[in-house]
Chain A
């Protein structure tokens, strides 16, 4: 059974159609990168998967639960699907350690001791064990994002969504965050990553989705081949621009 299935999904904001007839099936353990121009619907697509945005029509199955079904418990879906945001969104009123332990304690009902042990393991995984007692405001962007990844992992999710996790970071710390993401991918986590990091898409991703105007224009199981020879004209244009910028 697949992790995520979009069947003819449409999403409107008022009259504006943000997602057009999306069909996409993501298997467990896949690392899918989503690229595309600004406003193409990448964030919207991602946010429908954990119900931060509701779809207007079609069918969306996450971990075999139909998100449009009123009987589906969205809290349970979100428990199993983590999310990492462009602007980190660490809990400003909690220490770094509490940021990681709060979900496991309050949602998974894990004991404080067990949650703290888990958090320490994750803090060493992301290389920030010494920051445990600080407040988020005291950390750099790169550090915050690594904590956000640890916070998502602490819930032992079945999949993690990343919405431009490195776009708000200084170039010199992007590598640290990508390295952590690679570790997570190597552990077999299902990941859906909206990113402009073509290196990550090629080297870590095993699937590439190109979006434009709310549509999936290209869906490739060979990211390297996609970057060498995109088929869709919008993808060609988009990659042309990116390469010019570099």
Chain B
């Protein structure tokens, strides 16, 4: 395993760069989409509500690989610039956002209704009340479960390997098929995934602790 790490260091690092880039993009994107669709799902507006529910149900219940393949194979007919990395990252973003939407919805619903009523009575519009009062509390409540989803997201980014997305798993596959040292290669790859996911989960736990003591903006 050490020999793989040393001998193929540059490819592995290259793969990690793609994995980290895809994960970061998908993390930010899925959080934004997740919050938006969570608001759709709880919206008093009937059509937004239906759109939100359909979105969540569809993308939560289709395998990530199928969603990613769709963006890799079907969508380039419309958007020719869509390579494996982009298609995979978009698929990952959408897939994860459906789970995040569910999580954030549960978070919003666990904020006492009095908070919304107080903010509205204070003159704030619905979206202002959401933005300043309800969402910050909801996100804080769901930080632990968001943390799990972010870790899953990093692991799921290995779907890029199927789309020639140049990520860590893709590089691992290449190394394994040229060196025939499959066990060592995948052990090394596994170790490098741990190097990325462990700090992320510690960071999320740190946030959880810190936010429990401070006001949020």
Contacts and interface: CB of A to CB of B under 8 A. Distances in A.
B67 interface: no
A93 B137 contact: yes
A79 B120 CA distance: 9
Interface in B93-129: 112, 114-115, 117-125, 128
A103 B114 CA distance: 16
A78 B123 CA distance: 5
Interface stretch (A20-28, A81-89, A201-209): A81-89
Contacts of A102: 122, 124, 132
Contacts of A94: 133, 215
A107 B114 contact: no
Q: How large is the interface on A (under 10, 10 to 19, 20 to 34, 35 or more residues)?
A: 20 to 34
Contacts of A87: 114
A85 B137 CA distance: 20
Interface residues of B, number: 20
A52 B121 contact: yes
Interface of B: 112, 114-115, 117-125, 128, 132-133, 136-137, 140, 215-216
The 10 A-B pairs of least Cβ separation, nearest first, read A79-B123, A89-B118, A89-B114, A83-B121, A107-B123, A103-B122, A93-B136, A93-B216, A78-B123, A93-B137
A155 B215 contact: no
A78 B215 contact: no
Contacts of B133: 91, 93-94
A90 interface: yes
Given A82-B122, A107-B122, 17 more contacts: A50-B121, A75-B123, A78-B121, A78-B123, A81-B121, A83-B121, A85-B114, A85-B117, A91-B115, A92-B115, A92-B137, A93-B137, A94-B215, A95-B215, A98-B215, A102-B132, A106-B128
B123 A155 contact: yes
A155 B115 contact: no
B215 A93 contact: yes
A93 B140 contact: yes
